Amino acid sequence: MTATGRAQRVRERESLAGWSAELQDAVTAMFSQLDGGTFHEANWARPGGGGGRARLLSEGRVFEKAGVNRALVEGPLPASAAARLGGSVPLGTDVHFFATGVSVVAHPRSPMVPTVHLNVRFVELLDAAGNRFDAWYGGGADLTPMHPIPEDARHFHRELKRTCDAYSPAIFVRCKPWCDEYFRNPHRENEARGVGGIFFDHLRPSEAPFGLAPPRLHAFVDAVGRALVTAYAPIVERRRDLPFTERDRALQLHRRGRYVEFNLLHDRGTLFGLQTGARTESVLMSMPPVAAWPAPREPAPGSIEDELAAMLVPRDWATED
């Protein structure tokens, strides 16, 4: 790589590092305002290069647990691991990587408030000389209700669609079903984790996905990272003070168990973090503080359990009346 190329790469990485740091601050501020509690911060270093900043709110007024994590990691990466991530690796290449992004998971106290997840990231793969041979954005946001309130699913999807449509009407059309397909537990008869949202991966700036040139593509990913302000915060404000029963809490803990199963068995982000030597506590931040695996039984027709199960069947929430 030439000196000019190295200088340009340094500027690009500094810009991406600033982006993920600023985004983490913005999302942290939103959750702090919703809860009133304090996030505790832990900085960590990754053996081999980079590190991260983990922020965790525990036992808050609204959230039993909420995490807003940032990572900026780099270093050597086995070619097999790069291929599993979906990277295009030239044969015989000594792979190095750089990745930065923000991951968010919030588990509310009240079963009337849904759990939410958001992640945005940028990944690049380089050869030993520092030449980039692949790079992409990934991420998305999805909602996991613990009580059957269809209005919340409609609101969440409509706001995500509005965010996507500001950049291209093709985005939501593709990324909504992508989310429906991804967040499933195949070992549970392909049951959905929640009501979905949007999901995307391997959006390569070099390919101008959805017709978006690199700066516009980055702006879209940043907008997704900030979308919870309109897509999720109003739901929290509407539901956090509603009364609930022990039965509601039991259903919440049951659904959290399914959440755990997906994240440990099928989630790409969990696998990527563990494969690249990230801080284990940060990788497993998405785990709820309490979950349950009750004895299986068929929900009674018309029960809250039955109604919630029906909500997990994918539908066009954004246009549903």
Give me the active site residues, please. 117
Angle, CA of 318, 111 and 173, to the nearest 5°? 20
Q: Six-digit token pair at 10? A: 């340094």
Best CA proximity match to 120, nearest among 5, 200, 32, 3: 200
